Amino acid sequence: RLKESGPGLVKASETLSLICTVSGGSIDSDAYYWGWVRQPPGKGLEWIGTVFHDGSTYYNPSLNSRVTVSLDTSRTEFSLKLRSVTAADTAVYYCAGSLNFNYFNPWGQGSLVTVSS
């Protein structure tokens, strides 16, 4: 139901951009929030940010100054932009739905993004 797409390689200091396409359900749901989670190599899961259909956004404070999550209801997709990336941003990025901003389900398959110097 969710699938990530975007470049697999981004240069350091540039902007990482990913899109998550939602199928089989409404992105306008009053109950579902839409978010991004990442997993750097050898590390655990980290919540990045979440958006609601009314445009409200919520970000991890550690990434707040560099991240934007937005929704395009006409295209049933939402996006992630992470600015000024460094090697530390190399990770598998997952998009996910979150019922009432609670647990994450369903998840996309994940998209590996490598930041090159």
Partner 1 sequence: QSVLTQPPSVSGAPGQRVTISCTGSSSNIGAPYDVHWYQHLPGTAPKLLIYDNNNRPSGVPDRFSGSRSGTSASLAISGLQAEDEADYYCQSYDSGLSGSVFGGGTKVTVL
Asked if 45 touches partner 1 (CB under 8 A), the answer is yes
Mask 8-27, x = binds partner 1 (CB under 8 A)? --------------------
Asked if 44 touches partner 1 (CB under 8 A), the answer is yes
10 Å CB burial of residue 53 (0-12, 13-18, 19+) is: middle
From the list 21, 40, 46, 83, which residue makes contact with partner 1 (rule: CB under 8 A)? 46
Q: Minimum CB separation from partner 1 for residue 13, in Å?
A: 26
From the list 59, 71, 82, 85, which residue makes contact with partner 1 (rule: CB under 8 A)? 59
Query: Does residue 54 contact residue 41 with C-beta atoms inside 8 Å?
Result: no
Q: Which is nearer to partner 1, 47 or 66 (CB)?
A: 47
Asked if 50 touches partner 1 (CB under 8 A), the answer is yes
Asked if 103 touches partner 1 (CB under 8 A), the answer is yes
Beta strands per DSSP E along 6-66: 9-11, 16-22, 32-39, 46-51, 57-59
The Cα 37–Cα 91 span in angstroms is 10
Instruction: Give the containing element (helix H, strand E) for 114.
Output: strand 111-116
Tell me 23's DSSP state: -
From the list 22, 79, 82, 98, which residue makes contact with partner 1 (rule: CB under 8 A)? 98
